[in-house]
Every structure is written in C-alpha cells, then in structure tokens.
Structure 1
C-alpha cells in the first residue's frame, strides 16, 4: 500500500503582521515615511522566514490540506502548528464534484504537537486518485500580536530590521540560515523531526 500524500496550501495570509510598521520604525529610530513600503515588505518576509524555520504559524491564517485518501489509521498529522480549528472539509468524486464532510466527523486533538486530526465519524470515500480530500484549517497562535510568543515577535523584528539596515548581500546570506542571534530566539519553538 502506498502512502497518502498531503500538500499544504496557503489560502489567506494573516490580517496583520506580528510586528507593526510603527514598532519596526521605532526599533530603527526612523522618523521619515519614505521607506515604509520597503520596511513593511521586510517584516512580512521576516515572518515567513521565522515561520519556515520554526514550523509555527504566528498570526492566524487559513491553510488547506490536500490529501489523496483518508489515512488507514484515521489520523492526520499536520505539517505546521499551532492549529486552532477545522474550518471546512470536502471530498471529491471522480467527476470533480465535492461533497461536504461534516465537521463532527473530524476532531482536532487538543494538546498534540504536531497537531493531529482524527477521523471520528463517517466520511465520504474519495472518488478520484489524487487530491481527493481538502481540509481547511486556521493555524496560528491567535488573531492579535499579543498572542504570539515574545521571542518569535522579537525574531521577526530583528530580522526585518537587520535586512533594512544591511541591504544587499546580508539578505541572500540569511535566506539559507537564520543569523545566530535570531536563531537562538526561534530555537525553543522549532518543531523537531524524530
């Protein structure tokens, strides 16, 4: 039996960044507004880098998990955390029509890391070989900046400001590995693979 594949797809980004433009400008002691767009872009890029390095989504955002089939054991381990809720689920038949999966048939197991969804009730059988099941989830520590752990917020702030102050080569160097002073902030939250 071949293993079912899972593909995570971002549906919608967070409504806000974990670090505001004002916080970044204060940290850099910037008074002018002429580089706000650049700094805002760097904050977003820094959040994405910290999320990738830690395996944690910082501010609530919507993701879709696409599976070929239901797992044999009825357990779906998610590739990122934390996950706060299951928003919707559907199964596709051979003709491409979708059937809604009742949310009562799926359970997000509290306190698991990586997050775990279990099939806890009847679910429709997939009607096609690939990308037959979609499960939409909300991932993140919360909808506001104060729900994000302070070290992760600090990592985003410092990384964005580092890129702003040292434009050029530093960004391409940091793309392969977080700088040591930022990696130490992320390390306690990094999801380990055993």
Structure 2
C-alpha cells in the first residue's frame, strides 16, 4: 500500500494569521515566512506527515497490490472519486461504485466491499488497485492551526539548527500536545 498526493492542499494558515502571530509589520519577510508555513504544514500533513492524516483538503490516491477485505485510506475521507484496477489482461478498468463503501472509524477509514458483492479479478501486481479520493478537513481544527503557528514562530525566532548559551524551552512538547489527539498511528 502507498498513498500519493494528486492535488496538494491550499495553505491551512493564511498570511494574515501568521503575520499577526509573529507580530510582523509589513510584508518584508512574506516569502520566508510562507516557506516556514509550508515546511511546518508538510511536517504534519499528508502521507508523509507526522499526524498520519490529511489536514487540508487534497486529492489522494492510495494504491494496493490487490483487492482485500478492508483497504485503509488516509483520514478524514470526504468522498471517493474513483476505484480503478488492472484486470488479468493488463487493462485498466473502473470498479462500479455500488461494489464498495467507506467503513471504519473516522480516524481509520477503510474501503470495504458492499454487502452481497464480490471484488472483480485484479492482476496481482504492484499498484494494481488504485483508490482516488478527496481527504482533509473542510475546516482545519484550531489545535492543528495553532501547532503550525507555534512551529513557524519557533523557526522564525531560532533560524539556526543549534542555539548556544540560551535557555532551552521545550516548544515541541506544546506542538505534540496540540497534535496528539489527531495523530493516527500506522
């Protein structure tokens, strides 16, 4: 199983929010600060993110080597766009939408076979089954936004990897405390 981002999400923290958080006057550092927002968001969001879920609305594709009982998708699922598979002759075919349904807890959605149905025969091959769907929060929860702002603030103030001679405050703990209720462990 692998998940790839087809359409990336829009930034979940706006310039206005981050500039107010950092108490910036003007837009002199807008490009730099927006890069920090992108880095903080990427650390948290999507298939490679720490949370193990999609935060901003995005189009994803999860690929499986075959149809199985419960194919795990990235939370939260908004809607399934398409399920395609490679048949035994090597041709790509769509699966009829009445064959499947989304089940499981909101934090662990799965694509499952609908009652009384059976999966079509798919070639047993890498990425033979592809599920394309929309995932993410229509409105990103405030704790996730705040965690992004805290990370950006820390990185903005401490622009080097090492700080010598300064008191150490464990800001990452605050970020983890905000994010932990949303984390999905895989």
- TM bucket, shorter chain: 0.7 to 0.9
Matched, 1:118 2:112: yes
Q: 1:55 aligns with which of 43, 52, 74?
A: 52
The RMSD of aligned alpha carbons is 2.1
Unaligned 5+ runs, structure 1? 1-5, 171-177
Report if aligned partners of 2:75, 2:106 keep a CA contact under 8 Å in 1: no
Shift of 1:95: 5.7
- What is the CA-CA distance between 1:94 and the residue it aligns to? 5.3
Verify the 8 A CA contact 1:18 1:59 in the aligned structure 2: yes
- Taking structure 2 as the reference length, what is the TM-score of the superposition? 0.84
- Hey, which of these two has a bigger chunk of helix by percent? 1
Q: Distance in 1 between matches of 2:175 and 2:107?
A: 23
Distance 1:75 1:128 in 2: 17
Query: Aligned runs of 1:1-194 on 2, under 5 Å?
Result: 6-14=1-9, 16-51=10-45, 52-71=49-68, 74-78=69-73, 80-93=74-87, 96-109=90-103, 111-120=105-114, 121-142=117-138, 147-169=139-161, 179-192=172-185
> Does the residue aligned with 1:85 lie in a helix, a strand or coil?
strand
Give the drift of 1:39: 1.1
Determine the C-alpha separation between the residues in 1 that align with 2:88 and 2:78.
31
- 1:134-184 alpha-carbon deviations (Å, 9 max, x no partner): 000111111xxxx111111100111122212211206xxxxxxx8112111
Count matched residues.
174
Q: Are 1:99 and 1:124, in contact at CA under 8 Å, matched by a contact in 2?
A: no
SS at match of 2:17: helix
Q: Deviations over 1:55-94 (max 9, x none)?
A: 22111111101111111xx21122x311111111111135
* 3-state SS in 2 of match to 1:159: helix
Distance 1:55 1:128, change over 3 A: closer
TM-score (normalizing by structure 1)? 0.81
Distance in 2 separating the partners of 1:63 and 1:88? 11
> Which whole-Å CA distance do the structure 1 matches of 2:42 and 2:65 have between them?
27
